[in-house]
Structure 1
Amino acid sequence: MARQRKAGGNSNSATTPTTTSSSTHSSQQQTPLPKKPSKPAQNPGRSRTTDSGLFILSKWKTIIGCVCLAIASYFGYLGYLETRVNTPYDSDKMVQRTGLDDPDRYWGSYRPGNYFGLKTRDPHSLVMGLMWYSPQNLGHGGKGIRHWCEISDNLDTYGWTHHDGRTFGMQEIHDLPFELKTSFVKYPGKQFGGDWTSRISVRNYTNAWNSQISLIWYVALDERTNGHIKYVPDERSSEPGIYGETSGLGEFQVKIKPVKGKLLHKSHLSSAAHSLKDLKEIIFAHFREVTTKSGRRFISLPGEMISSTSHVADPNFIAVQLTGELDFAIDITYQSTSGFSVGEDIPKPPVGREYTKTLEEKIEGFNEKFEEVFHLREKGYSAEEVKFAKYAVSNMIGSIGYFYGSSKVQSVYTKNPVPYWKAPLYTAVPSRSFFPRGFLWDEGFHGLLISSWDLDISLDIICHWFDLLNVEGWIPREQILGVEALAKVPAEFVIQRNTNANPPTFFLTLKKILTQHRKELSVKGRFATLERLYPRLQTWFAWFNNTQKGDVLGAYQWRGRDAQSERELNPKTLTSGLDDFPRASHPTSQERHVDLRCWIAFAASVMAELSTLLGKNDAKYYETSSFLSDNKLLNDLHLSPFTETYADYGLHTDSVMLKRPQITQRNAAKYQQQQLEMVRVTLKQPDLRFVDSTFGYANLFPFLLEIIDHDSPYLNKILKDIHNPNILWTKFGLRSLSKTSPLYMKRNTEHDPPYWRGPIWININYLALKALRHYGRIEGPYAADARTIYNELRQNVIGNIFREYQRSGYIWEQYDDQTGRGKGCSPFTGWSSLVVLIMSEQY
């Protein structure tokens, strides 16, 4: 806007010379110019004509100048608009301490997409990780090698049993017939963040005959890490291992030592890798079969790869393979050697029994803290239920990753996608196997649990996300940073568009912090963090309030729906987070979305509370919250008079279906080998109306975010509907879409199964339980009903998630509303882990 005002100012000032010229011309007619004595004027009439011509020329110059200035201003302003999408918000950075400024969390399991991987919180970190395979099960193309978390690997279960987010973690992996345990303990200190020890142990936990396993531990430098690594094999040194130096780590050494079982064969690969995403393929491509002197055959790695010039290529990828006889265990030690004199005795990280003792102490400390925070034993939960809850918390904390890179973004002013600025992101991920990256609306739910466990980790995550705020006030909703993250994302989801929002769920985290952790904000600089955060929250809130507003006052609309879609039964609303939940069948600018209005109302209330805490006392947030929470105004825009339910409004018809086009003579040749894809057919023309034939999660938001008045008769209607088995109630939790809705469990395309059209989602059930507890505590006509439903729903949700975990070994993305079976991807230890807060009743 500043540039726009400047352009306008230039235009006004540009007219001034024209006015001056007119005035001058007038005065020339009244007072003729003096004549030069040496050359008297021969033709006064011609002089006046010349003056007139000069005036016209001057006027044309002025006009042309104004036009040029306007054109330049226009294109300059367009250029300004183009750059806004990838221009950072200009304010103090949120992240104040990272890398070596925070040595306690410098090293960590920050590669959640790997079964086990370690790295530092540096933009370009050295990375380490584990691969394994059974020689008997190795298949074509590397099938059977475990590296990245993949659903197709069909592991029986895997996940962290203990993880504190700071000093240690312990994980179990069941890959029939093997049980692997991976653990690490950090020893902070020294100049470059200290040392650590990791242990990988394997046993055969079935009766199947399989006595060998090959473990591969690798060290790699990403494409931009400044440093070098080398491998010193056993035959060359009494201290074999991987030695290296980087700018972030100084000098270091990595040692691998078998501590249990019989080592059968050892080999290594020292090579150059073009990308971290290719490491598994590089390993497989270099496998060789060797025969030892004893006549035994092994799959081996070839050692150092020699270039065509007979010089060893500078390696950035070193892998050490150990094939052992079960039961088998190795300890890996990382030792920082910078800052010590030659010959000086450098303290070594513990291995063997000493490491076992340290790990046991860490586990004991974790168990004590867990009970102090969640009080589950005190509440009477069984040992197995407490173990399950520890798994859920540990996997939420253990799924926190550290990413670095730039998103691809686009605005209406950019012809093609442009890169966002490069930045780090410290964030939890929804699913290590399927969504190993940051999602904006997921992270607000994650923060509810993380803040209970470690407030500073939660605030650090918030800081990283809000350093991604651009000058417009927009944060890309999906963060795909770095080559490993990008490799797991279909191309259609990579580009982020700055018109598109996502529910502002960080206000849920902030509300919980302000409510349950207010006393803790006065220490460790936490209050200062909120001070820095406040102006960014203001800008973020303003972006939502301006860009997502609807066609009438108080209405809001999710942008990003495809009005031209022919394949979708109901065009998706990915920006709402509820993806394929049915909205108005024909997207227009006249839509009003009830859930978005409630999110803005809730966000305004949190901003008001935060402004008071910080001494800002910003009245506009109280006014906005009061306006959007006014039940009469809410009812005017969103309450259907026919069903007495809250609903979206838009151009809608229920008479739609997917139908395969007929193959005609005209297109028969083209499609003779395949069928045409199904398209949507509209059987009855839509009209502007409430979308009240649909009832599900989106319709509940006035209740979920506690905006509806406690004595409203429409609260009573909602309570009856959610407790009705024919609508939302099940023995396993609240289903996402009523069984009476026209699109209940309908595919959105012939390829897309129903997602938010019936299955049970734990994040919304958490909000429902939170709301039921809220209304049950306010004395009123419906408090008793709210308490009854709360107790029943809580038991149903906890019982089903726990049973499914025992049956399948996983926490799931969603649960079937008919059977309670886990669905979607697994493990999904993002917001489904909120079951722990439900168990402990920490809302």
Structure 2
Amino acid sequence: MITLSRLLLFAALNAILGHSIALDLDDYSKANNQSLLWAPYRSNCYFGLRPRYVNDEPFVLGAMWFNSINAQGLAKVRHFVEQGDKLDKYGWIWYDPRIGGRETIRDSESNLQLNFTFVKSHSGENWAVQVEGDLIDKNKEAAHSIVIYMKQNGKEDSSCYLNQNDIFTKNRNELSFTGFSNELKGYTIKLADENSKFYKDAVPPLSPDCDPSKPTVLSMNIPDDQLWKAKDVFQSLLKDSIQAHVETNPQLSANLIPSALTIRNIHNFPPGNVQYIQQTFEGHFKFNIIFNKKGSKDQIAENSVDHLIVLAEGLVQQKFNKKFGIADNSLYRDFAQETFSNLLGGLSYFHGTHLVDRETAFDNENFDRIELLNSNEEGPLELFSMVPSRAFFPRGFYWDEGFHLLQLLDYDSDLVFEVLHSWFNLIDKDGWIPREVILGDEARSKVPEEFRVQNPNIANPPTLLLAFSEILSRAKTIQEEMLESHLQENYQYEELDSSFQGDKLNNNPELLISYAKEIYPKLLKHYEWFRNSQKGMLEEYMEVPSINSKVHMEEAYRWIGRTFTHCLPSGMDDYPRAIPPDIAELHVDALTWVGVMTRSMKQIASVIDLVEEIKRFATIEENIVENLKTLHWDDDQKLFCDITFNDDANTDEALRKFVCHEGYVSLLPFAVKLIPHTDVERLKHILDSMSNTTTLLSPYGIRSLSKTDEYYDTGEVYWRGPIWLNINYLCLDALEYYFLESPLKKSEGQNEELFLQARTLYKQLRQNIIDNVYKIWKKDGYVYEQYNHKNGKGSGVQHFTGWTALVVNMIGKLPEEL
């Protein structure tokens, strides 16, 4: 608890520093917004660019490509990231949203090696994209059509525009455009090729307006909310054009196909705010797209793009090296940077309405799947978030995002704050945050219809508060260190500047603490919503003697929305639960996550010095820890288990039936550090469980479900055996907490064997995970959603650079030799 003397010291420090917190927050926000304004925030596209927090009239850019050497190329236009495209590889090899990055794509079917390199000016107002490509197989002919589309959004009666300028240069392969929006103001865009080899056949093109040997521009209008269909529009226009060609030239020869697959204004559209630019190449090509805001002091010159790229790559490498400390000669160095870059490459900005059903009532006794048929559009809302997978899950996931942020804490704490701030803004008047945030038609187009509608009865593991409490705890520690440094006259306050690199909160913790005070009422509402909405029926068990005398009545929970076969709200979809389901069942992981949430709220209250709230949360946390033992610990199996009501019981004690499935659910109270250090007996049983190769421990990580469980490797085999890195990471973190940094180290020698076992498991588990994920990446070029529990192969969604990127933290966090 903070003392009066320390409060006075903090007050004195603030007075000495002479800074207004409100002003600092404004300056912080301005600087952060500037450095994060532009980036490839349309991560569902192979390359898609838009500004953050510019919603009414944003400028939007996207890229497409296909091989137009034959007619089949039109059906294989690449635009949105799709697993079905079966590219050899795609992804960022270095990237930071504040600086820039390079995405490399290898598409053997199109015979194309393609790079997109994105960089920004120092102010963050201006940017450039360099597009470079070449044949993979020089012996195969190709006509690579690269299509860039750009749109200046804005209502028809607005002053927004995006127009092609007249060309006054002798270089026919240079295009320039002028645009304006009320939010972005005036800007120019230039596309310039650098000695690219355009496609040119020996025969003349079908018509002058579809000549593949030079850039082609088509201007038209597309409604703002339909731009995500840019590929469909492009293909439709080409089909109409081809049909017209065929009508006048029925015997279309093969060498004229690239000409036929060049876009033209077949319908005589008037110029509009969408510009399609198609360029077709037959060999190596390289061109730059340069955006400059009018009046900006650091506009990007055409001849400076290569230099900017070199500088940006150097900055990204330096930042990565500084934050993770992975040696340049490490076996894992390139793997780690690429994997982490792809986590950052999933950073997205969404804006639009979402579908919510607030009318459908949940029948707590019916465990059939609930149809959410009374949805309404709500919003518009906005979300700044990473995504688990650009191909398969390009949207915000509440339970995934906390793990994403834990990865970022040491790399860019300011970015963690920006994402958390965006998520917390979604808390509605009742305290609810959707488990999936799907904003607008572009995001909805990638989601199966049955999953698009959200319901405020359904929760998800509250990992966001886990991340927020961690960043606040660090801020408090830094603040106290600053106080000590100031008192010793060694402290210097760091001013905000334009070289914003993501560590301002570390140097100015009062900013974060001030925000915590501001957001606390909303977080409290969210906390209470979670506890109330997932409350379990403990009354059914009050006749059980071992429960009745010890239990805390308010702290029992279950996941609302569970069905006979799945418990989607828990995040572990098909992990086995009670069969048959029962209205009175209680879930150990639901109680555990409320414990995590309570501990986080206690830490937040501590940081902002709410003394009575600290006491209240501490009491609730203690009650939850005791209930974990009283309700959910099975002394026979030595596991934490779900419980259900036993209608066939012949004694009062037997009214509680343990539903034990050894695996991630049984390990969770340990993994999130809710077991007291003093509970050595239970810690030993859990350590034995994790170390057992006949049940949970595999050569590739800890299995999600024990090999001896009746449901192991059955059904969908999703959370019934495969290895997931998020839970393995938590287990490693907990091993370090309990046994490598534990106060128990100083206890009697009776625990020596226990610590030796823990250290051995830690080293073995960590190395097994790193080696396997690296081996699969080396072979396939990707990391995966999960890893096979029998052979270690990648399974589930390919290129799942959400929480699987936690492997980088495992590599970078090298403890001293154990």
TM range (shorter): 0.7 to 0.9
Are positions 1:527 and 2:513 aligned together? yes
The match for 2:617 is 621
* Cα pair distance change 1:541/1:514, threshold 3 Å: same
Q: 1:842: Cα distance to partner?
A: 7.9
* Structural mapping, 1:226-265, within 5 Å: 227-232=160-165, 240-264=175-199, 265=213
Match for 2:446 among 488, 503, 507?
A: 488
Are positions 1:476 and 2:434 aligned together? yes
Q: 1:594: Cα distance to partner?
A: 0.6
Counterpart residue type for residue 420 of structure 2: I
* Cα pair distance change 1:97/1:613, threshold 3 Å: closer
The match for 2:97 is 165
- CA shift digits 1:646-698 (9 cap, x unpaired): 10012589xxxxxxxxxxxxxxxxxxxxxxxxxxxxxxxxx965454422111
* Structural mapping, 1:550-565, within 5 Å: 550-552=536-538, 553=553, 554-562=555-563
* Cα pair distance change 1:688/1:837, threshold 3 Å: farther
The match for 1:776 is 739
Q: 1:240: Cα distance to partner?
A: 3.2
The match for 1:683 is none
Which SS does the other structure have where 1:133 is aligned?
Answer: strand
Q: 1:393: Cα distance to partner?
A: 1.6
Counterpart residue type for residue 543 of structure 1: W
Asked whether the equivalents of residues 263 and 278 of structure 2 are also in contact (C-alpha less than 8 Å), the reply is: no
Are positions 1:635 and 2:629 aligned together? yes
Q: CA separation in 2, counterparts of 1:545 and 1:298?
A: 63
Counterpart residue type for residue 213 of structure 1: H
Structure (1 or 2) with the larger CA radius of gyration:
1
The match for 1:51 is none
Which SS does the other structure have where 2:178 is aligned?
Answer: strand
Asked whether the equivalents of residues 214 and 322 of structure 1 are also in contact (C-alpha less than 8 Å), the reply is: yes
The match for 1:119 is 50
* Cα pair distance change 1:492/1:100, threshold 3 Å: farther
* Cα pair distance change 1:649/1:842, threshold 3 Å: farther
The match for 2:762 is 790
Which SS does the other structure have where 2:697 is aligned?
Answer: coil
* Cα pair distance change 1:603/1:95, threshold 3 Å: farther
Asked whether the equivalents of residues 577 and 659 of structure 2 are also in contact (C-alpha less than 8 Å), the reply is: no
The match for 1:150 is 82
* Cα pair distance change 1:384/1:492, threshold 3 Å: same
Counterpart residue type for residue 276 of structure 2: A
Asked whether the equivalents of residues 270 and 305 of structure 1 are also in contact (C-alpha less than 8 Å), the reply is: no
Are positions 1:316 and 2:273 aligned together? yes
Q: CA separation in 1, counterparts of 2:273 and 2:562?
A: 45
Q: 1:120: Cα distance to partner?
A: 0.6
* Cα pair distance change 1:302/1:413, threshold 3 Å: closer
Q: CA separation in 2, counterparts of 1:282 and 1:547?
A: 45
- CA shift digits 1:556-587 (9 cap, x unpaired): 1111113xxxxxxx421111111111111233
Q: CA separation in 2, counterparts of 1:532 and 1:210?
A: 62
Q: CA separation in 2, counterparts of 1:524 and 1:327?
A: 52
Counterpart residue type for residue 282 of structure 1: V
Q: 1:833: Cα distance to partner?
A: 0.5
The match for 1:366 is 316
The match for 1:814 is 786
Counterpart residue type for residue 113 of structure 2: E
Asked whether the equivalents of residues 269 and 301 of structure 1 are also in contact (C-alpha less than 8 Å), the reply is: no
Question: CA RMSD for the aligned pairs?
Answer: 2.8
Are positions 1:837 and 2:803 aligned together? no
The match for 1:196 is 127
Asked whether the equivalents of residues 706 and 712 of structure 2 are also in contact (C-alpha less than 8 Å), the reply is: yes
Q: CA separation in 2, counterparts of 1:187 and 1:282?
A: 33
Match for 2:701 among 719, 733, 752?
A: 733
The match for 1:102 is 33
Which SS does the other structure have where 1:556 is aligned?
Answer: coil
* Cα pair distance change 1:765/1:208, threshold 3 Å: farther
Q: 1:523: Cα distance to partner?
A: 4.2
Match for 1:267 among 216, 219, 232?
A: 216
The match for 1:283 is 234
The match for 2:399 is 441
* Structural mapping, 1:343-422, within 5 Å: 348-352=299-303, 354-377=304-327, 382-412=329-359, 416-422=374-380
Consecutive unaligned residues in structure 1, runs of 5 or more: 1-93, 341-345, 563-569, 654-686, 748-752
Q: CA separation in 1, counterparts of 2:699 and 2:657?
A: 30
Are positions 1:696 and 2:663 aligned together? yes
Counterpart residue type for residue 437 of structure 1: R
Asked whether the equivalents of residues 408 and 494 of structure 1 are also in contact (C-alpha less than 8 Å), the reply is: yes
Q: CA separation in 2, counterparts of 1:491 and 1:222?
A: 27
Q: CA separation in 2, counterparts of 1:325 and 1:351?
A: 24
The match for 2:710 is 742
Q: CA separation in 2, counterparts of 1:745 and 1:233?
A: 65
* Cα pair distance change 1:476/1:326, threshold 3 Å: same
Asked whether the equivalents of residues 95 and 463 of structure 1 are also in contact (C-alpha less than 8 Å), the reply is: no
Counterpart residue type for residue 702 of structure 1: P
* Structural mapping, 1:566-715, within 5 Å: 570-617=564-611, 618=613, 619-630=615-626, 633-650=627-644, 689-710=656-677, 711-715=679-683
Q: 1:811: Cα distance to partner?
A: 1.0
Asked whether the equivalents of residues 556 and 591 of structure 2 are also in contact (C-alpha less than 8 Å), the reply is: yes
* Cα pair distance change 1:295/1:558, threshold 3 Å: closer
Count of residue correspondences = 684
- Structure 1 window deviating more from structure 2 (223-232 vs 691-700): it is 223-232
Asked whether the equivalents of residues 39 and 51 of structure 2 are also in contact (C-alpha less than 8 Å), the reply is: yes
Counterpart residue type for residue 401 of structure 2: E
Asked whether the equivalents of residues 472 and 512 of structure 2 are also in contact (C-alpha less than 8 Å), the reply is: no
Q: CA separation in 2, counterparts of 1:530 and 1:206?
A: 56
- CA shift digits 1:507-556 (9 cap, x unpaired): 22124324445422734722222222222221111111222121122211
Q: CA separation in 2, counterparts of 1:328 and 1:591?
A: 63
Asked whether the equivalents of residues 276 and 483 of structure 1 are also in contact (C-alpha less than 8 Å), the reply is: no
Counterpart residue type for residue 616 of structure 2: K
Q: CA separation in 2, counterparts of 1:96 and 1:592?
A: 48
Asked whether the equivalents of residues 585 and 651 of structure 1 are also in contact (C-alpha less than 8 Å), the reply is: no
The match for 1:184 is 118
Are positions 1:218 and 2:214 aligned together? no
Q: CA separation in 2, counterparts of 1:491 and 1:249?
A: 35
Q: 1:709: Cα distance to partner?
A: 3.2
* Cα pair distance change 1:97/1:372, threshold 3 Å: closer
- Structure 1 window deviating more from structure 2 (533-542 vs 505-514): it is 505-514
Q: CA separation in 2, counterparts of 1:542 and 1:693?
A: 29
Asked whether the equivalents of residues 197 and 351 of structure 1 are also in contact (C-alpha less than 8 Å), the reply is: no
Match for 2:800 among 823, 828, 841?
A: 828
Asked whether the equivalents of residues 138 and 144 of structure 1 are also in contact (C-alpha less than 8 Å), the reply is: no
* Cα pair distance change 1:300/1:801, threshold 3 Å: same
The match for 1:327 is 284
- Structure 1 window deviating more from structure 2 (445-454 vs 241-250): it is 241-250
State TM-score, norm by structure 2: 0.79
Counterpart residue type for residue 559 of structure 2: W
Which SS does the other structure have where 1:817 is aligned?
Answer: coil
Consecutive unaligned residues in structure 2, runs of 5 or more: 1-24, 200-212, 246-251, 362-372, 479-505, 539-552, 648-653
Q: 1:153: Cα distance to partner?
A: 0.3
Counterpart residue type for residue 180 of structure 1: L
